[in-house]
Amino acid sequence: MSAHGVPDGLAVEGFRVRRTFGLGNLSKSATILAAATLAVEALLSTVQPWSLVVTLPTTLAVIGLAAARRHGMSALAYYRAVLAWKLATRAEATNYRRILLPHPYVLDLPGVAASTTLIAAHDPTSGRQVGVVHDRATDLMTVTTLLAPGGSLMAPTTSVRSNLRTWASVLDAMSTEEQIRGASVTIQITPGAGEALSDDVTARRSPDAPALAQAVVDELVRTAPRATASVASWMSVIVDPTATATPPSDLAGRVAETFRVVDGLDLSGTGTDIVRRATDLDLRRLVRSAYDPSCVAARDEEFADLSWADCGPVAADDAFEQYAHDGAVSLSYVLRSMPNRPIPYSVLLPLLSPGRFPRRVTLAYRVLDPHEGEAVLEREIDAAANRADATAQVKGRAKWSQRADHARAEKAAAQVAGGAQVVDWTLMVTTSALTAVDLPGARQEVERAVKAMRSLRMRPAYGAQAAIFAAGLPVGYNPLVR
């Protein structure tokens, strides 16, 4: 969670993890549950004293796991994820074999995208065809916009500051549009773009060009495969077209309402250029080439006749810390904790720099309604103050970390009072290797980039590799959208 306001400099601040008031490291609900359990055990002990021999050690163990931390989460939540994954593995729910699926499931993508379908719609505003991902379970619709981000490292400071202000305005527009449920921005870096560059240069070069010009171009093409990477970026917006006083009655009306909502977001001035709304062919290419990296350089004709289900994997295995799919193995990471200090606008540069392995970096957002955001921060201030007071009563003074957390909560509330918005957000990274032998190298490359960021800490997506893999694709899934 963070409060995004208009920044005064080239850093963003106001980050906090939502924390309710509880005993020690326990949450409010865990504290209430522990207190209720101990009270019940005290009553039982008056009737059957021997029952404490069994129940008390179990209760204390559960409370200890809830209070302990592991990989940035409570140990209880971590081991619960381990148990859930093992049960799913025993039930063969982590293995996907499309050829073995009965009808009609064979027509669906796997996992979190199983309820989605792809619609090829006509946008009356642009007059072009646009691909819309429709979630049949929730009736939410997702429209993806292809972007061409401009570099900001060599841009003037005033331009970067203006881009940050404009992005704050975009978040503000999301907060007041109740039909927007969430959004995500993804940047995909694919190494080895030199081959595509060579084909393009060969097709466009003139035989009448001066010899020196041809020699320079040949040298650039020769070194390009080792020095360049292709960068694709897109923004996906999830819309609830029925969240209106007069919801559309048919599918065509809901698609039209979705276009109206998405067209209200103006990304101009955010440091990126809008290429176009993604067509159904663009979405097929992005999804299929993610599951099968050998298709990255395929021609558009090879994707034109694919069904939405064909864009997914033929076979996939969702392991606890990796995801194998169609001749590749992927590792996904998620944000471990919110930064406790202001971060520079270029903090993600190590992750966005080209490497040996393809990588997707996704920022997912859910902008809270202004009234909801204000209420959340008021609760956060109260909880932070109560934690500090409770510690002071026991130890004589509050911890410095608790005082700092209380100050950050108050500062975020002041920013919201000044017009900022409260945003739930997370960062996700996926890297892929063609073979399991190359997987340690891909892991090392991402972890080295994460360490170079310093301000942001990440961890593997334990037990959720397939879900986070899909969250980085334009398939209509955002883990923050409930």
- Give residue limits of the domains in the chain: 2-17+74-193+228-471
Parallel, antiparallel or unpaired: strands 315-318 and 457-460:
unpaired
Determine the length of the chain.
482
Among candidate residues 292, 223, 167, 234, the one with its CA nearest the CA of residue 475: 234
* pLDDT at 8 (0 to 100): 47
Alpha-helix runs per DSSP H in 106-209: 157-176, 194-204
Report how far residue 435's alpha carbon sits from residue 52's, in angstroms, rounded to the nearest whole number: 53
Report how far residue 74's alpha carbon sits from residue 78's, in angstroms, rounded to the nearest whole number: 6
Chain centroid, CA 254 distance in Å: 26
Cβ atoms 458, 337 nearer than 8 A: no
Per-residue confidence of the chain (482 residues) as pLDDT tens digits? 665 544 445 777 777 777 665 555 556 666 666 666 666 666 666 666 666 666 667 666 666 666 677 777 777 778 888 888 899 899 888 999 887 777 776 778 999 999 999 999 988 877 889 999 999 999 999 999 999 876 655 567 788 788 888 888 888 889 888 999 999 999 999 886 555 566 667 777 888 888 888 888 888 777 665 556 788 999 999 999 999 888 998 999 999 999 999 998 988 878 788 899 999 999 999 999 999 988 887 888 889 889 999 999 999 999 999 999 998 999 999 998 888 778 888 888 899 888 889 999 999 999 998 888 888 888 888 877 877 777 777 778 887 877 887 888 888 888 888 778 888 999 999 999 999 899 999 999 999 999 998 888 899 999 999 999 999 999 999 999 97
Question: Which two tokens mark 471?
Answer: 């969250």
Q: Which residue, chain included where needed, has tokens 């996926």?
A: 430
Report how far residue 100's alpha carbon sits from residue 106's, in angstroms, rounded to the nearest whole number: 8
Report the run of H or E that residue 151 belongs to, with start and end: none
Half-sphere exposure of 299 (CA within 13 A, CB side): 3
**DSSP-based three-state secondary structure for 254:** helix
Buried b or exposed e, range 31-53, using 16+ CB within 10 angstroms: bebbeebeeeeeeeeeeeeeeee
Report the run of H or E that residue 96 belongs to, with start and end: strand 95-97
- CA–CA distances in Å: residue 166 to residues 94, 144, 183, 249, 395: 42, 20, 16, 35, 46
Q: What is the pTM of this model?
A: 0.83
Parallel, antiparallel or unpaired: strands 180-191 and 229-239:
antiparallel
Going by the DSSP 8-state scheme, the letter that residue 177 receives in this structure is -
Which positions ≥6 away from 453 have C-beta within 8 Å?
347, 348, 350, 351
Report how far residue 215's alpha carbon sits from residue 482's, in angstroms, rounded to the nearest whole number: 57
Q: Determine how many CB atoms are found less than 10 A away from the CB of residue 160.
A: 18
| Amino acid residing at 382 | D
Question: Which two tokens mark 154?
Answer: 């060599």
